[in-house]
Chain A
Amino acid sequence: DIQMTQSPSSLSASVGDTVTITCRASQTINDYLNWYQQKPGKAPKVLIYGASRLQSGVPSRFSGSGSGTDFTLTISSLQPEDFATYFCQQTYSTPEITFGQGTRLDIK
């Protein structure tokens, strides 16, 4: 199966900062990469699909880039509601989708 490795596993930032989370696939997945946000006790919510496409209703401070094996999620001008855990997910090997282990974003 395709392994997804996120880094860092956690990071601390302040409101207004810009942060970047990376996700690396164990083999090429073209742009079959989605990003989700999860808050405690809640289900994940899709932010970015197809590596760079912003889901409807998601603020434009979220952006995604990358192709092949290396991807990034960037959050510009962090807002209080952005402190959460973020996961990447590959769908290249659908139906056998796999997720990263998550990156927890905390308030500094």
Chain B
Amino acid sequence: QVHLQESGPRLVKPSQTLSLTCTVSGDSISSGDYYWTWIRQPPGKGPEWIAYIQHSGTTYYNPSLMSRITISVDTSKNQFSLKLNSVTAADTAVYFCARDLGGYLGYLDSWGQGSVVTVSS
């Protein structure tokens, strides 16, 4: 069974860069044609999709965040990462990494436990 775990700083200052890494265990990030996904959930709100990456390096970004996001994959470490720059208080949220099965009838079948990130000086 695949397991995902987020890691990274929990407090980020305004205008700086938020960096998170998701470590995948129990399966190779290169197996299958999955979408390795970042999602965030502001306090009391619904989830918001941030970006996907596939093991090939193909990426898809939320258009509303695209100018501030970089997502990358390291298949040798079985990890994928998110960088969100120029953060503001509006970026305060729980950040989840997840695996999306993609395709018709796809859904997010495995999630990390979530990383609470606060943007504050």
Contacts and interface: CB of A to CB of B under 8 A. Distances in A.
B113 A42 contact: yes
Contact of B46 (A50, A55, A99): A99
A46 to B, nearest CB: 5
A72 interface: no
A89 B35 CA distance: 16
Interface stretch (B21-29, B74-82, B83-91, B103-111): B103-111
Contacts of B107: 34, 46, 49, 55, 89, 91
Interface residues of A, number: 26
B46 A101 contact: yes
B109 A46 contact: yes
Contact of A50 (B105, B108, B113): B105
B35 A44 contact: no
A53 B105 contact: yes
A94 B63 contact: no
Interface of B: 35, 45-49, 52, 60, 62-63, 96, 98, 100, 102, 104-109, 111-114
Contact of B63 (A43, A96, A100): A96
Nearest to A87: B46
A67 to B, nearest CB: 13
Closest 4 CB pairs of A and B: A43-B111, A95-B60, A101-B46, A50-B105
A98 interface: yes
B108 A95 contact: no
Given A53-B105, A91-B106, A43 B96 contact: yes
Interface string A71-106: 000000000000000010101001111111110000
Contacts of A46: 107-109
Given A43-B96, A87-B46, A49 B52 contact: no
A49 B103 CA distance: 12
Given A46-B107, A46-B108, A49-B107, 11 more contacts: A1-B63, A43-B111, A44-B111, A87-B47, A89-B108, A91-B107, A95-B49, A95-B60, A99-B49, A101-B45, A101-B46
